[in-house]
Amino acid sequence: MTKVAVEGGLRPFQEALKNAGFVVVEVTSPEDLASARPHAVVVSGMDENFLGMTDFGDAPVVTASGRTPEEVVKDVRRSLGPRE
């Protein structure tokens, strides 16, 4: 299963990703993010330096700001390429 880390407080995006078949992990601290080892990360877009971290390894980062949950799901799928 493909794991997506979602910044805390983005409940509609978490639900949309779960409904699309992703394993969703809500993250509220750098420790949460490090232990989640996600395939992708969804952030609010309010702060480019999410949880004090700027390096997410190979995990693509999708910004939710100004977008619908459905748009974010499409972008997560697109960013993961053939893996999803």
What type of residue sits at position 43? V
- Among candidate residues 66, 41, 60, the one with its CA nearest the CA of residue 51: 41
Secondary structure (DSSP) of 13-26: HHHHHHHTT-EEEE
pLDDT higher than 80, residue 54 = no
What's the rounded Cα separation, in Å, for the pair 54 and 73? 22
Q: What is the pTM of this model?
A: 0.85
| Residue 45, H or E segment | none
Which tens digits make up the pLDDT trace of 2-37?
A: 999 999 999 999 999 999 999 999 998 888 888 889
- Mean pLDDT for 40-61 is 71
pLDDT band at 82 (very low <50, low <70, confident <90, very high): confident
What's the rounded Cα separation, in Å, for the pair 13 and 22? 11
**Does residue 18 contact residue 2 with C-beta atoms inside 8 Å?**
no
